[in-house]
Amino acid sequence: MSHSPADPRRALTLRDVSEASGVSEMTVSRVLRNRGDVSDATREKVLEAARTLGYVPNKIAGALASQRVNLVGVIIPSLSNLVFPEVLSGISKELEDTGLQPVIGVTSYSPEKEESVLYEMLSWRPSGLIIAGLDHTAAARTMLENAGIPIVEIMDVDGTGVDSVVGISHRRAGLHMAEAIVAAGYRRIGFLGTKVTQDYRAQKRLDGFKEGLAAAGLSLSDEEYYSGGSALLKGREMTEAILKRSPDLDFLYYSNDMIGAGGLLWCLEHGYDVPGRIGLAGFNGVDLLDGLPRRLATMDACRREIGARAAQIISGRGQSGQIGGEVIELEPVLQLGDTIRKA
């Protein structure tokens, strides 16, 4: 374990490398960033010195001096939702060879937490920001407006964005699901969802769903809500509860696939004829569904593509040459699966 003469545990700086290789700090900096003209001889010398010393550049200093930061902030409500890791994977794949790096912040569906996470992120002066949802506190919105960097609000297009927006219309997703259910002949429809009132998108889906029912002269026959715990198990419990209370229901609409899957398993075990006697549908299109005994009807939320398109906008590789304020509405695809009877 070699160490510099002065202090054995001092962090290395450009100066150490420059002294070790006998050139100026500036030249070392140029070599390490592949910038400007440097002769092959000195380049080798410098790289050699940096390698043997184990030098790691200090990006904090670099960013301050160059006024450039290769970070992209990504703010999402949760990591356990399964949806967001997929969005993230779309983002990081797209950012892969742009030199940009995502930094993740999690809000736990709390607007106050979102505000503080956003503040913290902006204080690192990222070169772009991707944030889930269109609904923020007034302070958060102001920060976004004044940040002076590209902002992309994702997941949702039902509302007004600060800058660019990439997502689907959750209202219309709910609406279309309702239409498909009604078209298939179901009439006594129950809804099962999360209690979290801060999940604006689930709320919008429900609103659209009710709207779709209303257009056919129908309304929700019963509802059931949960919070916390294993979603699959909750799906079972809620399904049992709602069917006990309202045995005449002929359709159950779940706010996400996980509880829908639980409900599906419960119905099959209890001998319900699915989709004859009762129909089921969820939301999201998680690939978990492929392994279930029967494929749950769902609607793909285009998670990976949302991530990819958002990242493209930040990296300036958006298909439109637009400079900002871009709005991309993706179309969620209804997958009937095996739990809605064919009309």
39 binds, among its own copies, DNA, none (CB under 5 to 8 A by kind): DNA
Instruction: CB nearer to its own copies: give 54 or 276.
Output: 54
Q: What angle do CA 237, 179, 262 make, to 5 degrees?
A: 15
Asked if 101 is part of the footprint of DNA (rule: CB under 7 A), the reply reads: no
Judged by CB under 8 A, which of 63, 218, 241, 327 binds its own copies? 63
Among the residue ranges 64-72, 128-136, 137-145, 273-281, the one whose residues contact DNA (CB under 7 A): 64-72
Instruction: CB nearer to its own copies: give 72 or 182.
Output: 72
Q: What angle do CA 27, 32, 33 make, to 5 degrees?
A: 100
Instruction: CB nearer to DNA: give 123 or 320.
Output: 123
Could you tell me if 245 and 274 are in contact, meaning their C-beta atoms sit under 8 angstroms apart? Answer: no
Judged by CB under 7 A, which of 4, 13, 98, 116 binds DNA? 13
Could you tell me if 265 and 216 are in contact, meaning their C-beta atoms sit under 8 angstroms apart? Answer: no
42 binds, among DNA, its own copies, none (CB under 5 to 8 A by kind): DNA
Instruction: CB nearer to DNA: give 33 or 51.
Output: 33
What are the Cα distances from residue 73, in Å, to 121, 169, 314?
Answer: 6, 24, 10
Site for its own copies in 262-301 (CB under 8 A): 262, 265, 269, 287-293
Could you tell me if 313 and 164 are in contact, meaning their C-beta atoms sit under 8 angstroms apart? Answer: yes
- DSSP structure string for 238-285: HHHHHHHH-TT--EEEESSHHHHHHHHHHHHHTT--TTTT-EEE-SB-
Distance separating alpha carbons of residues 127 and 243, to the nearest angstrom: 51
Instruction: CB nearer to its own copies: give 143 or 213.
Output: 143
Judged by CB under 8 A, which of 43, 125, 187, 188 binds its own copies? 125
Torsion-angle region of 185 (φ positive above 0: left; ψ -120 to 50: alpha; else: beta):
left
Smallest gap from residue 49 Cβ to DNA (A): 13
Judged by CB under 7 A, which of 20, 29, 90, 315 binds DNA? 29
Q: Which two tokens stand for residue 73?
A: 């902030």
CA atoms within 13 A on the CB side of 320: 11
Q: Which residues bind DNA (CB under 7 A)?
A: 11-15, 23-27, 29-30, 32-33, 35-39, 41-42, 57-58, 61-62, 64-68
Q: Which residues bind its own copies (CB under 8 A)?
A: 1, 9, 11, 54, 56-61, 63-64, 69, 79-80, 85-86, 88-89, 92, 101, 103-104, 106, 119-120, 122-125, 142-143, 145-148, 229-236, 261-262, 265, 269, 287-293
